[in-house]
Each structure stands twice: as C-alpha cells, then as structure tokens.
Structure 1
Amino acid sequence: MGHDRYDAVVVGAGPAGSAAAMSMAQNNLSVALIERGEQPGSKNMFGGSLSRKPTAEAIPEFWKEAPLERAIVNEELWLMDKTSAVKVGFTGLEFNKSPYNKFSVIRSKFDPWFADQAVKAGAQLMTSTLVEELVYEKTGLLNKKVAGVELDSGEIIHADVVLLAEGASAALTQEAGLREEIKPSSLFLYVKEELGLPAEKIESRFNLEPGEGANIGMLGYPGSGIIGKGGIWTNQESISVVVGGYLNQIINKGVSPYQLLSRFKEHSLISRLLAGAEPIAYKAHTIPKGGYNEIPQLYGDGVLVAGDAAMMVTGRRGADLAILTGLYAAEVIAQARAAQDYSAEILKGYEKRIMNSFFMENIKEHKDRKEYYQNYSDSDFLLTKAANDAAYRFFKVGLQSKKDKMKTIRKDLFNMQPTDKLVSDLYHGLKNWGDF
C-alpha cells in the first residue's frame, strides 16, 4: 500500500480531494489520497454539470482530454404544475466553442480521470480504504494536533497535515471538533437515474446539434409535497434525471426517494423526453444545504476541511467550488511545509482565501435561505401553481378582451392567499431562485 508517512493525507478522492492532491504533488509534497469507494466517483453523483473556468484553474484545457459528455448550450428553469410548465431559459451557441462554459459530466467517469491526474503528479491513491478516525500527537501539556489517520484495517498513516474532503456527512470533521453533528434539515437528499438513449434521439428531443447539451432545472411539481427540485442533464448517449428534497422532510413525511423519482418521471412533459430510454444506473447522494450559517471551522492544528464537508455549495455549483477549495488548501499546505509549521495559526490562511472568494459572496447572499424555506414552506408550490394558472388563462383563446383577461388573472392570483403573503412569497421566491 505504500509507506506509512506522508507530508499530507487527503481523505476523499472527489473533486476537492483530487485537486488538492494533484496540486500538492506538483509542489513536491508526498501525498496519500484515500478513497473508500472501489474507485473515485463510484459513490458519488451530482446533477451533472461542471463549469469550465474553475476546473481550468486545476488543469488548463482539461476539456481536450477529460471524459466529458456534452458542452452545455441550453439552460432552462421550469416552474411545473401537473399538466404544464412555465419555462425560462437561454440558448447560447457560442458556449459550444473553445474555451466553452460548462459541460455535462458523469462522476463515475470523470472522478477516476481526475484522481489519475493526481497520481501522475506523484500522489499515492488508495481505493477501497476507509479512514476510521484521526490520529493525534501532543504539542504541549494541553494541546494536540492531527498527525495522521487510522484505517479500518488498523493501519496508521502518519502525516504532517490531513485534508478532509470527505463529503457532506463530514464524520471526521465532526470528530476533529470543527463542526457539530449535521442535522437532516441541513442536508438535501438527491436520487439520480442515468437512462441510456441514442445520441440522435437526445439531439432531436432537446433541439441540439452533436456535442451540444442541455440542462433543465425544475421546481414545483417534482417536490411531491416536500421542498425540493428536479433536473435533467443530457449526456453523450444517456440522460441524467435527478430529483430531491430536504432530508428532514423526506424522513418526516415518509417519502420514498424512489417513489419521488418515479412520480417525477411519469409527468407527461418528462415522460416524452425519456420515452424508450433504458435504465443504466441508480444512485442516491446527500449534499450540504446548511449554507453560510453552518459552515464549519475550516482549519485546526494539522487539519483542513474542503468541498462538501466544508459546506461549499451555492445553488447548482458544488463540484467546481470543491475544486477551488482543494486548490486553496493545497496552496496553504505548501506554505506550511515551507515554514515547517502546521499549526492552526499558519493554516488559517486557508479560511482567509475562502472568505475572500467570489463564491463566498454568493453563499453569504443566500445565508437566510434555510429560514426562508422554514417560514415559506408552501411558497414554491403556490408560486409555480399561480404562474401556471395565469399562463393557462393568458394563452387560452376566449371571448374576453385582453384587458378583461388580465383583470381575471390578477383577481385569481390575489384570491389564492392574502395579499401580504403573496407579495412576500413572490419576493422571497425570486430571491431564492436566483441561484437555482
């Protein structure tokens, strides 16, 4: 398995861990990259898109060799009711040209490739390896620092610093005292099915040319009585279908994730996009939704936290932010190695980088989202229903003047609920959908 001492141990070979391991290896640090799955990406899934610019910070022009699916040129948001959808979207054909904007990606293909870039740089990858707990050493009468990890085999791997890129459950981050136990209300449970479909059918149904891709995010109907959302991503020869909601609501309302997915796929607007598609894979995955107010302490003596474990998610952006946090962590660890000082005092430079980043501005902007959903739990449903009812009336040809038609629409809208709640729902809904 390799030797038992490294400059750095990275727990988790997702985007954050692989980016950090690769960068540190390039800076001549000895690095162990530990993954509990049979291979990187085997236990991971996400909606399906990866942004080009942040990923290129790790590997310039990665799109020339990485196993990507399609260049995304079309993005839409559907506000869905039982038989209809109000659609907002944009198609930009320039996004299918180098250097591109974002790509659809399947993690079970992309993650092994990304981890292999770390291996090529000199990192030691250990798969099917579970880290049971952190190992500490005393640094004084009362103080201690993280000094490595203990594996489920009982083997101890010593290191000057440990980077926790372990995902949303963040058990080791909790063990290190950097966060409290994560609550179900701070986690989103997604279920995903990958469905095989020939490329020409995908292109025909989504109005795409070869190599072009589409993302569709959906609100309203997909939640099935819980606060949630759904989505469709086009791959080369498959479609990724994702639906999910807050874990506490799924538990409290006794919703089966598989039933949630089945109901979503049966919607008449979804089923026609999936007709004839054959199931390839089914996965479930949790992502952090606690937001700014629940970001853990990002550093300690001999330890840093990156990616989902650090709550670095904003809207649909997670994987690319994980890569950036991994790179920031690697920079600070390289500096600590140069100073031969892995104390919290040195490693706190990582938190400074995170807090000054562009994405932290986005995370801060939506720091009250969790409270919004607690206070306005029915707003997504009400607003999508209102939008669809109004659209049905607007587009239905009748014997009313346009003026009278708009009066009727307004009347129906304000009859749905008290005016002050309607205005408040609309304001908070638009604010919180802005980062969908």
Structure 2
Amino acid sequence: MGNDRYDAVIVGAGPAGASAALLLAQNNSSVALIERGKKPGSKNMFGGSIYRKPTAKIIPGFWEKAPLERSIVTDELWLMDKNSAVKVGFTGLKFNEPPYNKFSAIRSKFDAWFANKAVEAGANLMTETLVDDLVYEKIGLLKKKVNGVKLDNGEIIYADVVLIAEGASANLTQKAGMRGRIEASSLTLYVKEELALPPEIIEARFNLEPGEGANLGMIGYPTSGVIGKGGLWTNKKSISLITGGYLNQINAKGISPYQLLSRFKKHPLIKRLIAGAESIAYKAHVIPKGGYENVPQLYDDGLLIAGDAAMMISGRRGSDIAMLTGLYAAETIAQARAAEDYSAKVLKGYEKRVMDSFFMKSIKKSKSAKKYYKDHPDADYLLTKAANDAAYRFFEVGVEPSEQKIKKIKKEILNMEPTKKLITDLYYGFKDWGIF
C-alpha cells in the first residue's frame, strides 16, 4: 500500500476527507486518504445539492469541470396533505448564470471526482480499506498521542496526525473516546430512489429550460407522522426522490424505509411528477441530527474529527459544511506541521475555527428545535393540515362574503391549534426546515 508513514491519514473520502486531503496535498504534505467503499461516494446518498460558494473555497471554478447535474433556479417548500399541497417558493433565472448558486448532483459521481482531485495533487487514495482502530504512542508518563491507524487486516499506517471523517456511524470516533454512544433519537434515516426520465420531460414537468434544475422540499404527508422531510431534485436525466425522519420514531412506528418511500411515491401530486420514470438506484443513509449538544470533542493529541462524524449538519446543509470542516482541519494541520507540533494545544485551533463559523452559529441557534419536536411531535402535521384545510376553504368558490369566509378559516385554524402553539410551531418549523 505504499508508504507506511504519512504526514496525515484521513479516514473517509467523503466531502470532509477529500477537502482536507486535497488541500494538504497541495501544501506538499504526504496524505493517505482511506475509503472503505469500492470508490468514494459508492455508499453515500443525498438529494442533493452542491453549493457554489463553500465548494469554491476548496476548488475555485469547480463547476467548469465537476460532474454536476443542473444549476438550481427553483426552490420550493410543499406543505403536503393526502391530496393537496400548499407551496412556497422562488424561481430566480439569474441562478443559471455564472458563477451560479447551487447545483443538483449525484454523490457517487461527484465524490469520486472530488477525491480524484486530491489524488492528482499527490494524495494516496486507498479504497475498500477498513480502519479498525487508532494507534497510539506515549508522549509522557500519563499521556498518549494518536500515531496512526490499524487496518482490519492488521496492517498499521503511521502518521503525525489522523483526521476522522468517517460519517454518521462514527465508530472510530467513539472508540477514540471523543464521544459516547449515539442514540437513535440523534440520527435520521433517509431513503432515496433515483428515477430515470428523459431531459425534455423533466424540463416540461418542472417548467425548466435545458440545464436548469428544481429542488422541492416537502413536509407532512411524506413522512407518515414521523418528524422528517421529503424531497425531490431534478438531475440531467433523472429525478432523485427522498424521504425519511428520526430513526427512533421510524423504529417505534415499525415503518420500513421501503414502506416510507413507496407511500410517498403514491401521493397523487408526486405520481404526476414521476409518471413513466424507471427506477435505476435505491439507497438508504443515516444522517446525524444530534445538534449542538451532541457535537463530540473535536481534537486531541494527533487527532481531529470532521464532517458527519463531528455532527456538522445544519438543516439541509451537510455536504458543504463537511467540506468547510475539511478546510479548517487542513489549515490547522498545516500550522501544526510548520510548528512540528501535533499536540492538542496546537490542534485546538481547529475547534476555534469551527466554533467561530457561520454554520456553528446556526447549529447553536437550532439546538432548541430538537427538544421542541420531542415534546410536540405533531407540529409539522398540524401545520400542514391547517394550511391545506385553510387553502381548500379559501380557494373554494362560494356564495358568502370574503370577510365571512376568512373569519371561518381563522376560527377553524384556532380550533385545531391555539394561537400560541401555532406561532411556536411556525417558529420551530422554519428553524428546522432551513432553506427548505
């Protein structure tokens, strides 16, 4: 497998690991990028979106060569009931012009391309390789420092620093004592189906021109009473359809991922959008949603934690935040290398970068949302039910004065939800939905 010692070993070739590997290799560090899948992205899943500004910090002008699907011009949030949807959204055609805003992408293509950029810069990519444990060296009477990783075949790869970017399961992070056992209530399970459709049909159904894309976020009906979301993304020649929610609630209700997705596809509005489509891929993926309280210890002597393993998720934003944690880790490791000091004292600079970031401020602000949804698991259901009932009443043509109709609508909403709870549900809903 080449050298048995590197400046840095990175566990996980997703966005966080690939970002760090690329930047370190460009800084003339020797890097081993270890991936347990057949190729980077082979086990990853998202709807999903690649955001231009954060990604351009890692690879300027990436959109000119990266395997992207469509530039997103339409974002919508659907509050769905069994045969209706209240829609909130925006279409900005300027977003289809350079430098763009965000893109739909398929992770199996994008992650492989991204990791290959690190390889081109000099990183050593090892696929189908499983890290079993960390290796330590004594640095004092009672202290020890991470000194590399042990593979499941017994081989040891030494390094001055190890960056764990292993994903939501974070078994290695737990083994290292950086966090305790993660509870099912801090994880969400999402399922995705990719459905092939000709480009011209996609464009006609979503009112798009060639190259333009749409993202639809959905709450209410898609999750069968579980707190979570549904979503639809348009790709070049396919549609990505996802749904899911908190793992503990899915378990408690005895819902299988396939059931959840199958029910979502049968909704009359979704059926119209995917009519005639051919299923070409099906995946399930666990995403950390523990929030600020569950962020693990991010550094130790010779060790850093990034991406999903570090609980770096804010609303629908995960891949771009992972890239930025990889960037911050690479910057910190470069400083440690210059100082020839990989102690926790120096690596603590990584935590400061993360804690001062815009996304950590968002994660902190959202920490109360998890508790609220735990106490009020009916919040999204009541909001979507109230919105759709009110919309049916409002748009129904009758023989009563408009003022009388609106009074009745208000009364029906208040009968379903007291004013205080309605306002609070909306507040936490917008916190949780993020940018849909």
The TM-score, its normalising length taken from structure 2, stands at 0.99
Query: Which residue number corresponds to residue 117 of structure 2?
Result: 117
Mapped pair 1:369 → 2:369 = yes
Query: Which residue number corresponds to residue 313 of structure 1?
Result: 313
Contact kept in structure 1, 2:15 and 2:320, CA below 8 Å:
yes
In structure 1, stretches of 5+ residues that fail to align are none
Contact kept in structure 1, 2:54 and 2:323, CA below 8 Å:
yes
CA distance in 2 between counterparts of 1:146 and 1:12 reads 17
Contact kept in structure 2, 1:313 and 1:363, CA below 8 Å:
yes
Once the two structures are superposed, the pairs formed by residues 149-298 of structure 1 within 5 Å of their partners are 149-298=149-298
Once the two structures are superposed, the pairs formed by residues 73-88 of structure 1 within 5 Å of their partners are 73-88=73-88
Query: Which residue number corresponds to residue 43 of structure 1?
Result: 43
Query: Which residue number corresponds to residue 424 of structure 1?
Result: 424
Offset at 1:418? Answer: 4.1
CA distance in 2 between counterparts of 1:369 and 1:171 reads 26
Offset at 1:419? Answer: 4.4
CA distance in 2 between counterparts of 1:127 and 1:348 reads 30
Once the two structures are superposed, the pairs formed by residues 50-69 of structure 1 within 5 Å of their partners are 50-69=50-69
For the residue of structure 2 that corresponds to 1:368, the secondary structure is helix
CA distance in 2 between counterparts of 1:333 and 1:427 reads 40
Offset at 1:425? Answer: 2.6
RMSD of Structure 2 on Structure 1 (CA): 1.0
CA distance in 2 between counterparts of 1:167 and 1:264 reads 27
Offset at 1:416? Answer: 1.4
Contact kept in structure 2, 1:45 and 1:284, CA below 8 Å:
yes
Offset at 1:358? Answer: 1.2
Residue type at the aligned position of 1:296: P
Contact kept in structure 2, 1:162 and 1:302, CA below 8 Å:
yes
Offset at 1:360? Answer: 1.2
Once the two structures are superposed, the pairs formed by residues 78-157 of structure 1 within 5 Å of their partners are 78-157=78-157
CA distance in 1 between counterparts of 2:435 and 2:248 reads 22
For the residue of structure 1 that corresponds to 2:192, the secondary structure is strand
Offset at 1:434? Answer: 4.1
Residue type at the aligned position of 1:183: E
Q: Deviations over 1:122-165 (max 9, x none)?
A: 00000000001111111111111111001111110000100000
Offset at 1:276? Answer: 0.6
CA distance in 1 between counterparts of 2:210 and 2:424 reads 44
In structure 2, stretches of 5+ residues that fail to align are none
Contact kept in structure 1, 2:382 and 2:417, CA below 8 Å:
no
CA distance in 2 between counterparts of 1:374 and 1:290 reads 12
Contact kept in structure 1, 2:148 and 2:160, CA below 8 Å:
yes
CA distance in 2 between counterparts of 1:70 and 1:435 reads 18
Query: Which residue number corresponds to residue 324 of structure 1?
Result: 324
Question: What is the percent sequence identity of the aligned residues?
Answer: 72
Question: Cα gap change, 1:134/1:336 in structure 2, threshold over 3 Å: closer, same or farther?
Answer: same
Contact kept in structure 2, 1:79 and 1:384, CA below 8 Å:
yes
Offset at 1:420? Answer: 4.0
